[in-house]
Amino acid sequence: MSHNISCFRCGASLAAMSLPLSRQDECPECSVYLHVCRMCKNFDPTVPRQCLEDGAEDVTEKDRVNFCDWFSPDASAFDAVRKSQADSARQSLDALFDSGKGGEGSAASDTSSDSDDAEKLFQ
């Protein structure tokens, strides 16, 4: 069975591990347990109990091994975390660029007039 899941903590590929993941399975890179909520596709920090599956047992520690029957590893468990961080970083970058655009434009025209002046000096 081929899959493309990766560790929710370090992003290491878990493609060599056989599914389903057992409660003993650890990440080969960072040794974190993998049968945990944060590795699961039902995990969603934005919903009550941080779980999309109403029938799942209440797991309070989302990075501890759980005994949940609904556990299903999410291939994007790591990317989801990274993506949200990247998105917020990109948004602040965009804000920087947007506020800088007007200044850049006028700076560019200043530069061209400066070079015109410089060229006159050399003529």
Contact flag: residue 35 with Zn ion (CB under 5 A): no
Q: Could you say whether residue 9 binds Zn ion (CB under 5 A)?
A: yes
Closest CA to 77 of 22, 25, 11: 11
Indicate whether 34 belongs to the interface with Zn ion (CB under 5 A): no
Nearer to Zn ion, 56 or 77 (CB): 77
Name the phi and psi angles at 89, rounded to 5: -65, -40
| Cβ partners under 8 Å of residue 68, min gap 6 | 37, 40, 56, 57, 59
Q: Is 63 exposed, middle or buried (0-12, 13-18, 19+ CB in 10 A)?
A: middle
Q: Interaction with Zn ion in 72-101: which residues (CB under 5 A)?
A: none
Binding status of residue 30 toward Zn ion by CB under 5 A: yes
Least distance in Å: CB of 91 to Zn ion?
27
Q: Pick the closest to residue 77 from 43, 103, 49 (CA basis).
A: 43
Selection from 3, 35, 7, 29 nearest residue 16 by Cα: 3
Instruction: Out of 14, 17, 21, 27, point to the residue binding Zn ion (CB under 5 A).
Output: 27
CB-wise, 34 or 51, nearer to Zn ion?
A: 34
Minimum CB distance to Zn ion, residue 34 (Å): 8
Least distance from C-beta 30 to Zn ion, angstroms? 3
Residues that bind Zn ion (CB under 5 A): 7, 9-10, 12, 27, 29-30
